[in-house]
A = this chain, B = another copy of it.
Amino acid sequence: MDKSWSVSDRLTLRLEVEEFYANYIACLDEERFEQWPEFFTDDCFYQIIPRLNFERGLPMATWRSEGRGYLLDRITAIRKTSVYGPRYMRRIVSAVRLIEQSAEGFDARANYAAFETLPDEFTRVFSVGQSHDAFTRIDGALKLRRRVCVFDSELVPNSLVYPL
């Protein structure tokens, strides 16, 4: 952990990051996808990658977007062109950690769990993993410069439709 944060600063910032994640999750769970890119900077990097590849430095990812325009593209795909069955996703975040400060902002990590519910089926575990997030501040508001979701299952879920 970076020593340059005072305890008090770190705990306050941690609270703010927890609130950011809560708003981020609600945006996705409630399927307000058009608002989702607003959590990112213009030149953001967003990736969903299996843990095995991530830990070995292998580049193959399930989802890779460079820049907010890519995120918007993906939302258009979800709304208009992708073919998939209806489902609900419910996300949990836990174990939020501030990692270190940088010139651009700071890094944080958190664990997530996502639960999927298909029509007429019981809810099941969809994916669990860790997010590696780089935050910056624009006009006072936290934004993601980078978000890499590393998921534990080596199986690529057969339809990763929605973002994490």
Contacts and interface: CB of A to CB of B under 8 A. Distances in A.
Oligomer: number of copies: 3
Contact of A15 (B15, B25, B93, B153): B15
A130 interface: yes
Interface of A is mostly: mixed
Interface size class of A (residues with CB under 8 A): 35 or more
A90 B15 contact: no
7 contacts: A1-B23, A7-B16, A14-B18, A25-B94, A26-B130, A90-B130, A123-B152
Interface of A: 1, 7, 10-12, 14-16, 18-19, 21-23, 25-26, 29, 51, 88, 90-97, 109, 111, 113, 115, 117, 119-125, 127-130, 152-155, 157
